[in-house]
Amino acid sequence: MTAEQDAAALQLLELYADLLEHQHGPCLAGRIELMAWIDAQFLLLAKLDAPEHAASDMINSAYVLWQAEALGLDINDQ
């Protein structure tokens, strides 16, 4: 990637991180970990060839699950 592409990708990650934290609360792992996590989610969705309309919902769900796990919550525990 060029320096411009790197800057644009970083800006996209930051915007998405802001959106997730605004919608679901601050990341318990911190901003740097959140940015790396979002990057990994984008790569995973690209490998899965996930439809664009579903990608946002998939990331939102995964973020909430990740934060619940960080709190020691088991969503399968009833």
**pLDDT, tens digit, for every residue of 40-73?**
999 999 999 989 888 999 999 999 999 999 998 8
10 Å CB burial of residue 42 (0-12, 13-18, 19+) is middle
Average pLDDT of the chain, as a whole number: 91
Query: What is the token pair recorded at 44?
Result: 């995973």
Give pLDDT tens digits for 24-43: 999 999 999 999 999 999 99
Query: What is the token pair recorded at 34?
Result: 């959140």
Q: Give me the pLDDT at residue 52, please.
A: 85
Task: Identify the band that residue 74 occupies on the pLDDT scale cut at 50, 70 and 90.
Answer: confident
